[in-house]
Every structure is written in structure tokens, then in C-alpha cells.
Chain A
Amino acid sequence: MTLPGSLDEAVAALAAMPTAVPVAGGTDLMAAVNSGLLRPAGLVGLGRISEIKGWQYQDGAALLGAGLTHARMGRPDFAALMPALAAAARAAGPPQIRNAGTLGGNIASAQPTGDTLPVLAALEASLVIAGPGGTRREIPIGRLLAGLDMLRPGELIGYVRVPLLHAPQTFLKATGRTGPGRAIASVAVVLDPARRSVRCAVGAVAPMPLRPFDAERWVSSIVDWDGDRTLAPDALAAFGDYVAAACIPDPVPEPPNPLSPHDPHDPHAPRDGAEPGTLPPAVLHLRRTVATLARRALGRALA
């Protein structure tokens, strides 16, 4: 166990002991250790690195330290800056978890239900990765979560670069109970008036947050960016349905099996026009949940 005082010291500590695992809040990691799923050879504690516990401004963006706790992000000063991220941080769990769990940890453990992830995806945040010898490189969050660009050995998430959009943002989450709980589905909606776009990401329904690009483009095109920016209820509902259908598509009809014993020689066997399969009730309800969250999230962002 080492407790480095700076990001570069932490990277050096990881380089010195490649089998060590970095730990920040430990809310995911220690649960895995306690249940015997993970037996790290060593730990590099990130709790004393003060440079990643706050945020700074850089070229119209905020550079958020990976060590920001959910509790810190939930406070009003942060909420004024990035309302959706603050809402996600507040919804992330009970106070004990929010006091310990960090932004960087939420990204690193990349749980499908990680509450900050859809917000970061909608904001199109990028990660500043600290590497050996003081090097820094940036990865868009989507590429990291999709596994297209992974952290290399000895690298640490140092900062999260988030554009400052100066416009409403919302994050809504459905859980199984009124008290804190794991997301069944979550939706983040951010408005980007400069680019005249609405961006949306759906969390918890897939291994990584999903971006419904078509729905985003459509709704961006119908918002009156120079006017009051409100939409009629049925437009909001259509957006919700669009998002939900994109994230939870109808099952693709079974392609005709050439080895199928049923009428193998029938040239008119249905191909494209096959009856769409029906989703089980629980999945239909999930789709409806996503639609409702997206409708409400957009409505509140535009209100």
C-alpha cells in the first residue's frame, strides 16, 4: 500500500509495482476484495492527491479532478456549473457511498449502472490520462467505455475534461425503490445552444451508455434555438419513444434457416417482411421507462 501525494508519484508507484491496483473511494474495489473476487498484490491509494480533488477552468471547459467525490459534485456550486452531473452524483447512493466514491472511480469501474457515465457521455467529456514520465494523453469517454481505447499499464485517469455549455441539463434515474438504489435505467439530456444540439445518453440498459444519435438530430432540428426552446407535449413524447426504440430495439426477426425442416424449398419464405418478434413484458416496461425518462428529461431541460 502506497499513498502518493501527486499524480506523477502515483504513476511512478504503479510503474514500480505493476500488479498494484489504484484505489480511490474504494466503494466498488473494496466490496470486490471483501467478497474474495479480487486479491490485489498491492494498493496505490489516491486519497492524498490533492491536485485531483478539485476542478479548474481551461479553454471554455472544466477540468474535473478524478478524485472529486460524489458528495462534492452534488453541492450547489458544482450544480450551477454542471447540473446533470450534480444530479447524477446526488442520486448515486446513500451519503456514505457519495462521501467516498469518486468521479474517476465511477469511470474506472465502468459499471453499466454507474450514474455519472451517461452524463459524461452526453457531455462528450474526455479523459486526461496520466502516464509514466509525466506524459498526458486524452481519450474521449465513449472510446474508453466501449473498450476502443483502454488504459495502458501504469496509467491513471487524472482529469475529466467537460465542456461548459451554460445551458440546462438534466439527469433522471428510475430505481426499484424510493430510497437510493441501483439504476434500472437513467437518461441524461444536455442542451448545447452554441452547436444548436440536444445530446442524450441512456444508462444502465446496456454495458455502456447509449447515444441515440438519430433522435438527438431530429429533436435538435425542431427546437427553436433562437426562441423559447419549448416543445409541445407530443413532440416530447415522440422524442421519448424515439430514444427508447433506439436503445431497446425490437428483436430482429429470425433469419430463415436454410437447414430448417419447414418447407426448405419455399422461395417465398418471409425474409424482410417477417413478423417482428415481441419483447417480453419486462423489456417492454424497460423501454417504456426509458421513453418516460427521456420525455421528462427533455421536457425539464427545455422548460
Chain B
Amino acid sequence: MTGMGGMTGTGGMAGGAGAGDIPASVTTATLVPPATPEEPLLGIGVSLPSTDAAAKAQGTFPYAADLWAEGLLWAAVLRSPHPHARIVSIDTSAAATMPGVRAVVTHADVPGENRYGRGVADRPVFASDLVRHHGEPIAAVAADHPDTARLAAAAIVVEYEPLDPVTDPEQAFAAEPLHPDGNLVRHIPLRFGDPEAVGEVVVEGLYRIGRQDPAPIGAEAALAVPRPDGGVEIYTASTDPHADRDLVAACLGLENDRVKVVVTGVPGAMGDREDPGIQLALGLLALRTGHPVKLVATREESFLSHPHRHPTLLRYRHHADAEGKLVKVEAQILMDGGAYADSSSDALAAAVAFACGPYVVPHAFVEGWVVRTNNPPSGHVRGEGAMQVCAAYEGQMDKLAERLGLDPAELRMRNVMATGDVLPTGQTVTCPAPVAELLRAVRDYPLPALPKDDPDDNEDDWLLPGGPDGAGDPGAVRRGVGYGVGMVHMLGAEGADEVSTATVKVSGSVATVICAAVETGQGFATLARQIVQEVLGIEEVHVAPVDTDQPPCGPAAHSRHTWVSGGAVERAARMVRTQLLQPLAHQFGMSTELLTIADGKITSYDGVLSTTVAEALDGKELWATAQCRPHPTERLDDSGQGDAFVGMAFCAVRAVVDVDVDLGSVRVVELAVAQDVGRVLNPAQARARVEAGVIQGVGAALTENLRTNTGQVRRPDLMSYALPTALDAPEVHIVKLVEERDVVAPFGAKAISAVPVVTSPAAVAGAVRAATGRPVNRLPIRPQTAAVNA
């Protein structure tokens, strides 16, 4: 089923790409409630607003940084100024005797394992003998005032013996091991097809992708409260509370059930949000002092502590025939994992599996490595692995098109994959893969007029690169158009046990969802309400706050909650529905399928039975708990083969950029996006996710790079780390959301958030190539690359 069925009712959405049929501003269109106010916003497919949107917009929504408890102490963490050094001694005596200081803890005070990590436990809570990256925690202090805590942390005397840092991933292979686990975190040599195959046309390229930081709008914060039973409760914006609980428990030497993680409001999550290191330090300090202890990270601390996108070096060779059909892709992918493994192994698997992109490639040889260095640790940031390779393989497609004299969109069109094609991992794409349809939609969408060619447009209104009142000169501005086609996998890959558990309760006319899937801003809580409304016909649905006393739901990543947790909520709601209707159906001698629930009323197909949900409940409460566990996947084998992914999602982006070719300044004018979404469950949310994703991609393409100098993070602040502002954000036109339902996914819905992040940087790079004729092989694009030398 293809079409815009779920999109009707929002208005403002262009169904396709008719000339002049330009959608009204996406954001306003989605915020306008439907024209018929008497019809309630209910169920799947409507733009149900989030319950906390108003509080968040007005600044009254409480985040972890706003929490307070009686007897509160404040923590500060001492971090290493060196990227690589031996610790000779740590002297905490001066800090410990400062007035107002309640506790100072180091590695010697960790009661459990002084090792933790996502995936691989290779990271100390506090460094003991070696520091391996700038910003690694060494000690923590609890004091009765945040300034006292900071001063005390600064008063800890650490004697370092600085060591030469290994900061070039290419040097990591030959370097002395930086860690007992060695410097090679993972190597995947993917072999698919005939290594001897050659094409008539061969293009080569070397690409470098920078270190994007998730830079969440709210920095890390947590509050740890000691419990009377010797355990601890941690209030934080965790995106994977159960994993964090297990880490904290292991390091504190406690049983899992004596640690409880309570999830607070999440101020922005573009990957693994919270640094578990802060939670560990707070847990330890709370147990030590017997007081609640809180820490709100500074922006600098936030940049130093959370995982970044993997800086990646990619070398590609594409073989094609004279018509531009791909014959063979050879690639070497080297990812900089930083000092600790984190989720680097998963990022590499995605990079290698999607190294050729959503194209049919008969022969592929991809060698991928992720290595350890003394750079800041890399980890899960939306679209990890997939984003870096997309920028590279799309760069190759542009080169191939230029070599063959073909239009870049046409060359891509000749190669796009469809359902039934095989990935270089040997996995057959069984889900909908409407890649050609997506590409066609963005290609055929009308291009924005150039203001200097448009008599209706006042040239003074032209927002040039460099901004309003800026240095931009219309005479030096060249416009370019570029394409990106990308793909990501959905859910955890390579045998991860993807499972989620949800409970639905109905009491009176109110339903409640209890599910530990964290609302990170992806809209899960709203979706859960819609699912219950859809199944039970009850308007008032509450979603309970999340804590680790609930069954685990896994991390909020790879759009898994829409699928796995949404699936669990749906099943639980259906079980409640059966419990509710079974006695009535029995009484009237009909099956439950013949009964419908809508607006709190239960009616039979023939209208004989009509009662309300509250009457049918008769004061009873109905509870049901269900699990959703998608089909299992397998780890990529020694030659990179295996059915590693549950499903995939695709996206096509066409970027239009203006480049001031003297200054090399770039402004993205417009992004046209077409995305494969399976089914739109909430149109407003779906659009918001696409917009947020492509704009994060614009940041990766143009400005976002956390720079280091021999392992030292340079200027970790939001002035130097330039996020896109409202003026940098282009017009985003969501040209098409292809609704071809994925039969194995609950409701047929696919991931939305990650794939636009993956695809838009490649499209922007292509557009800058087209505008300047310069090879653009590095992201973010530097001004000297985009400047055309006279």
C-alpha cells in the first residue's frame, strides 16, 4: 500500500510534487488542529500533541537539573587534562579537609568492579594508573555547595607522567597497546562476489568524516539518593535505564534490585544521552555521605564526557559498466573509536554492511576496522556508521556520474535497490525498499527559484551565505544541487535480544500504560497513548513515568521503541480488549470481533448491544502485560555475511545550496526529503523527526566538528562547536512519505529519526560539489574547500 493515507487531515501537505503545489511551512501546518474540533484527536494516524509540550515550551517542565532533595550535596568530577598519561600519585588530603567537603572518592573507593562500559566493560569508573583520554574522570567530590565541590576537585593533586598520545587511527595498529584489550576493537573483512570482477569505469576517492557531537540542549545531570536498605536511587535522563542500573550496581557492588534508576525528563537525546560515569560517581558519593548528591554538568564537561560520532577515514574504489551500472565496490573503512570500545562494534557493523548504500552491487569487498586511540571516546550517535559511509558512497556516485557524463540522479536511478535485492552481507532485503520512488520524488520536485532570476522576489530578502547584513555578495554566489540516498537498519543488530514489555491498565474511563521505554523526544509516550486509543477506544490514556522497577525495554535507539515497545503496548491493549469484551460477547453469543469500542462506548455490529466501557468494567480494573520480540538476527561472520538486521529504512534527499565562492561560505537553501516510513502513526511527530534529522545532518555537513589537538579537545563550548541556528536551517520540504507497510513491524511503521541524519550530509556535499566543481571529500566542509580559487 502506497500513498498518503495517513497524512490526510493535517492540511498543508502536498500529496506529491505538483508544480507550484508547495506545502505551507511544515511546522505551522502540523501544529494546527484539524478543522473539525468536535472530532476528538484519537488513535493512530492523527497528530495527537504531546502532553508535556506546553510545559517544555514555557520552561516549567522539570528536568534532572531542576531536582532538589532535603540535605542535598553537590558533586564535582576531576577530569584528566591529558589525553594519555600515567598517574604517579593522587593526593586528596587538601580537598578532603576543605570546609564544606563531605567526601572525596577515587578508584580506591569503588566497592565493586572499577570497570564498566556499554557492550564491553573496558572503562574504569575512575582512572587508577593510566588516563586514556582528555576528560577521563579521576576523582569526585561531594560538598554542600557546587562551588566548594568544584574548588575541592581542583585542589586534588594528581601527579601525571604524560605519555605520547596515539591520536591518528592509522597509527593505532602499530602502536603499543593503549589498553589490555588491545588497540583493535573490531575488524570486519566483508567478502561478497568475485574479487576478480572489474568494471569499464573505475573511480576512486578518499573521504574523511569529522567528530560530530550530539550536543544535547540540556547537559548531563543526575541526582543520587541513598536508600535505607543500603541501595541508591538515581534520577537522571537515561535513555537506557536498565542498562545504566546494571552498570551502577556492578560498580557499587550491589545487587541490581538495590539500585533504581528513575528517568526524568530528557532534554534532548541524539544517541546515548547520559554519561554513566556521572551516575556512578554520584551513586558512590551518595552511599558514602548518606545524603542525596546532585551534579549538573557544565557544557565543557558534557562535551568531554559523552560519546561522539566516530571520526572515519574511508577509501573507496567503485567499478561500473559503461551504462553506469555498478559492478564492484571496494572499500576500506577506518573508524576512530577513541579510548574505549563503547558501542563501536555496532557502528562498524553498520558501516560495513551499508558501505555500498541502497544500490545493487554484485561484488563487494569491504574491509572495516575500528581502533582505539587517545581521542575522546566515540559511541552511539544517530545513524552511526551508516552516516559516514553514506557521505563516501554518495561522493563516489557523484564522481561516477561526472566520469560518465550522466545526471547524478539518473546514475543513482540505474542502481537503486528494491525489495528482494541482496545486501553485500548476503541478507535479502525483505522489507519494503521503495528507493526508486523516493529518489524520483525528490528529483521531480520543483527547484526553488534563484532570487536574482525571480522578478517577484526582492533580492534584498535573499538570505545569502554569511547571513543577513553579512559579507555575502550575490555576484559571487553559485548555486548547486546534490543528491543523497541513504539507509539505516532498525533495532539492535547482530543478535541483540530486542525485547520490550508493556502493561496496560484500564480503570473506569482511563487507561494507563506502564512501559520502561523512555520518551526521549522521539514521541514514544504520545504514540503509546495513540495505540491504546486505537485499540481500546478510550480517549484518556496516561503513560506512567519510567523507572527500573518496570520490566526492561532496552535503549531508546534505532527507532526500536516505535517498533518493539509500541508492539508490546499494542499487544497488551489487545489483551485488555479481549478481557473486556469476552464476557459481553459470551453473553450475547457473538465473537469479540463483532464488537467495536469507540468514544468509550461498546457497540455490536448490529447495534443490539450498546454499553459504555465504564459499565462493562463494572468497577473492575483490567490489567494485561505483553512482550514484543521481533525475529532474531545473527552476527556478521568472518567474511561479513549474515542476516544481521531486523529491518531497514531508506531516505532520499535533494539539497540546494548557495556558495559564496570567494569566502567559501555555504548556506543550505532547501532540502527536499522523501522517506520510507512504512506508515505514518502521528503526522506532526513524523515531520518533526524528519526535520530534526536533516538539520542535524546539515550541522554534520557544514559546521559540527569537535576538534582535537593531539588528543586535547579544543574549545569544548557552544561558541566554537557551531550548531546550526535558525538561520542555518534550510527550508525543509517533505516531498513524500512513502507508506508501504512493513508487514513484520507493528502497524507497519518504520524508523524515522536516524535515516535523514544519515542522508542529508551526503546531499549537501554533492550540492557543494555541483556549485563549486571542487572535490568535496571531507565533512564538515571547510571554507577553503568551498572557495573557488580565481
Residues of A within 8 A of B (CB): 34-36, 87, 90-91, 94, 172-182, 184, 281-282, 284-285, 288-289, 292-293, 296
The answer on a CB contact under 8 Å between B724 and A179 is: yes
* Binding-face segment, B459-467, B488-496, B510-518: B459-467
Whether B727 pairs with A179 at a CB distance below 8 angstroms is yes
Q: Are A182 and B662 in contact, CB atoms less than 8 angstroms apart? A: no
Contacts of B469 in A (CB 8 A): 87, 90-91
Which residues of A are found within 8 Å of B724, using beta-carbon distances?
A: 177, 179
Structural contact, A292 and B466, CB atoms closer than 8 A? no
Query: Which of A35, A178, A293 has its CB near the most chain B CB atoms (within 10 A)?
Result: A178
Q: Which chain A residue shows the least CB distance to B786?
A: A285
* Beta-carbon contact of B470 and A91 below 8 Å: yes
Residue ranges of B at the interface with A (Cβ–Cβ < 8 Å): 150, 154, 298, 300, 463, 465-467, 469-471, 473, 476, 662-665, 667, 702-703, 719-720, 722, 724-728, 782-784, 787, 789
- The reply to whether B720 and A182 form a contact with Cβ atoms under 8 Å apart is yes
**Inter-chain contacts of A282 with B (CB < 8 A):** 782, 784
Assembly CA distance A202 to B722 (angstroms): 23
CA of A296 to CA of B725, assembled, Å: 25
Min Cβ gap A284→B in Å is 7
What is the minimal beta-carbon distance from A94 to any residue of chain B, in angstroms? 8
Identify which of A172, A284, A288 contacts B470 (C-beta below 8 A): A172
A135 to B765 CA separation, bound complex (whole angstroms): 60
Q: Given the complex, which residues of A lie within 8 Å of B719, measured CB to CB?
A: 181-182
The answer for the CA separation of A288 and B787 in the assembled complex, in Å, is 9
The chain B residue with its CB closest to the CB of A299 is B473
> Least Cβ distance of A134 to chain B in Å?
38
Is A174 within 8 A of B663, CB to CB?
A: yes
Instruction: Find chain B residues with CB under 8 A from A285 CB.
Output: 664, 782-784, 787
Whole-angstrom CA separation of A179 from B470 in the bound complex? 10
Q: How distant is A238 from chain B, measured CB to nearest CB, in Å?
A: 13
CB closest chain-A residue, reference B727: A179
The one of A36, A173, A176, A177 in contact with B471, judged by C-beta atoms closer than 8 angstroms, is A173
Contacts of B665 in A (CB 8 A): 174-175, 178
CA distance A175 to B703 in the complex (A): 11
Q: With the chains together, A179 CA to B695 CA distance in Å?
A: 14
Q: Which of A35, A178, A289, A296 contacts B783 (CB 8 A)?
A: A289
> Can you report 16 residue pairs joining A to B where beta carbons are below 8 Å apart?
A34-B298, A36-B150, A91-B469, A174-B466, A176-B703, A176-B783, A177-B702, A177-B722, A178-B665, A179-B724, A180-B727, A288-B789, A289-B783, A292-B471, A296-B471, A296-B473
B150 cross-chain contacts in A, Cβ below 8 A? 36
A172–B471 CA distance with the chains assembled, in angstroms:
5
The answer to whether B784 and A281 have CB atoms under 8 Å apart is: yes
- Nearest CB of A to B728, in Å: 5
Contacts of B725 in A (CB 8 A): 94, 177-180
Q: Report if A179-B467 is in contact (Cβ < 8 Å); known contacts: A35-B300, A174-B665.
A: yes
Task: Tell me which residues across on chain B come within 8 A of A178, comparing CB atoms.
Answer: 463, 465-467, 470, 665, 667, 725, 727-728
Q: How far is the CB of B699 from chain A (nearest CB, A)?
A: 9
Which residue of chain A is the closest to B463 with respect to CB atoms? A178
**What separation, in Å, do the CA atoms of A2 and B154 have in the docked complex?**
30
Q: Are B783 and A173 in touch, CB under 8 angstroms?
A: no
A293 in contact with B787 given A36-B150, A178-B725, A288-B662 (CB within 8 Å):
no
A179/B471 in contact, CB under 8 A: no
- What 9 additional pairs, Cβ within 8 angstroms, besides A177-B702, A288-B787, A296-B471? A173-B470, A174-B663, A175-B466, A177-B703, A177-B724, A177-B728, A179-B725, A282-B782, A293-B663
Instruction: Describe B's contact surface by its main secondary structure.
Output: loop
Complex formed: what's the CA distance from A180 to B783 in Å?
Answer: 17
Establish whether residues A181 and B662, one from each chain, have CB atoms under 8 Å apart when the complex forms: no
Which residues of the other chain, A, contact B782 by a CB distance below 8 angstroms? 282, 285
A35 touches B298 (CB 8 A): yes
| Pairwise interchain contact B787-A174, C-beta atoms closer than 8 A | no
Q: How far is the CA of A174 from the CA of B471 in the complex (A)?
A: 6
With contact pairs A175-B466, A178-B466, A285-B784 given, residues A293 and B471 touching in the complex (Cβ less than 8 Å) = yes
CB-defined contacts of A172 to chain B, threshold 8 Å: 470-471
In the complex, chain A residues whose CB is within 8 Å of the CB of B463: 178
Collect the chain A residues with CB atoms within 8 Å of residue B722's CB. 176-177, 181
Q: In the complex, what residues of A have CB within 8 A of residue B154's CB?
A: 36
**Residues from chain B with Cβ under 8 Å of A281 in the complex:** 784
Given contacts A174-B665, A178-B467, contact A284 B784 (CB under 8 A): yes
Are B467 and A180 in contact, CB atoms less than 8 angstroms apart? yes
Of all chain B residues, the one with the shortest Cβ separation from A176 is B722
Cβ contacts under 8 Å, A175 to chain B: 466-467, 470, 665
Cβ–Cβ < 8 Å partners of A174 in chain B? 466, 471, 663, 665, 783
Q: In angstroms, how far is the closest chain A Cβ from the Cβ of B278?
A: 18
Complex: chain B residue closest to A179, CB-CB: B725
Assuming the contacts A176-B703, A176-B722, asked whether A292 and B663 have C-beta atoms less than 8 A apart, the reply is: yes
Q: Chain A residues near B728 (CB, 8 Å)?
A: 177-179
Closest B residue to A300 using CB positions: B473
What A residues does B298 contact at CB under 8 A? 34-35
Q: Which of A173, A179, A288, A289 has the most B CB atoms < 10 Å from its CB?
A: A179
Q: In the complex, A293→B724 CA distance in Å?
A: 23
- Chain A nearest CB, measured from B478 CB (Å): 15
Distance in Å from the Cβ of A46 to the closest Cβ of chain B? 24
By a CB distance below 8 angstroms, the chain B residues around A94 are 725
A181 shortest CB reach to chain B, Å:
6
How distant is the Cα of A87 from the Cα of B787 in the complex, in angstroms?
25
Instruction: Kindly name the residue among A94, A173, A180, A288 whose own CB sees the greatest number of chain B CB atoms within 10 A.
Output: A288
Most B C-beta atoms less than 10 A away, residue of A35, A90, A176, A180: A176
Nearest-neighbor residue (CB-CB) of B464 within chain A: A178
Closest to B473 in A: A296
Can you list the 8 inter-chain pairs with the closest CB atoms, starting with the nearest? Answer: A179-B725, A285-B784, A179-B727, A172-B471, A292-B662, A178-B467, A178-B727, A178-B728
Q: Which of B466, B720, B782, B787 has the most CB of A within 10 A?
A: B466
Residues of A close to B300: CB separation below 8 A: 35
Q: Bound state CA distance, A144 and B719, in angstroms?
A: 26
CB distance from A74 to the nearest CB of B (A): 9
**A180 vs B470: C-alpha distance in the bound complex, in angstroms?**
10
- Whole-angstrom distance between the alpha carbons of A174 and B466 in the complex? 7
Q: CA–CA, A174 to B663, complex, Å?
A: 8
Shortest distance between the CB of A147 and any CB in chain B (Å): 24
Q: Which residues of B contact A292 (CB under 8 A)?
A: 471, 476, 662-663
Which residue of B is nearest A281, CB measured? B784
User: A36: which B residues are within 8 A, CB to CB?
Assistant: 150, 154
- State A179–B726 Cα separation when bound (angstroms): 7
Bound-state CA distance A181–B471 (Å) is 13
Q: Which residue, B150, B703, B720, has most C-beta atoms of chain A within 10 A?
A: B703
Residues of A within 8 A of B787 (CB): 285, 288
Nearest neighbor of A182 in chain B, beta-carbon distance: B719
Chain B: which residue is nearest A187 at the CB level? B471
Closest B-chain residue to A288, C-beta based? B787
A residues less than 8 Å from B476 (CB atoms): 292
Residues of chain B within 8 A (CB-CB) of A87 are 469
Alpha-carbon distance between A123 and B663 when the two chains are bound, in angstroms: 26
Closest A residue to B661 using CB positions: A292
Chain B proximity of A170: nearest CB distance (Å): 10
Query: Can you name the residue of chain A whose Cβ is closest to the Cβ of B664?
Result: A285
Give the chain B neighbours of A182 by CB distance below 8 A: 719-720
Per the bound structure, the CA–CA distance linking A285 and B665 in Å amounts to 12
CA distance A34 to B298 in the complex (A): 9
Task: Give A184's nearest chain B residue, CB to CB.
Answer: B783
Minimum C-beta distance from B161 to chain A (A): 26
Q: Is the CB of B663 within 8 A of A289?
A: yes
Interface centre among B662, B719, B726, by most chain A C-beta atoms within 10 angstroms, is B662
Give the shortest distance, in Å, between B529 (CB) and chain A (any CB).
35
Taking the closest CB of chain B, its distance from the CB of A236, in whole angstroms, is 12
Which residue of the partner chain A has the closest CB to B789? A288
- The residue on B at minimum CB distance from A91 is B469
- The interface centre, meaning the residue of B150, B298, B467, B664 with most chain A CB atoms within 10 A of its CB, is B467
CA distance A153 to B300 in the complex (A): 33
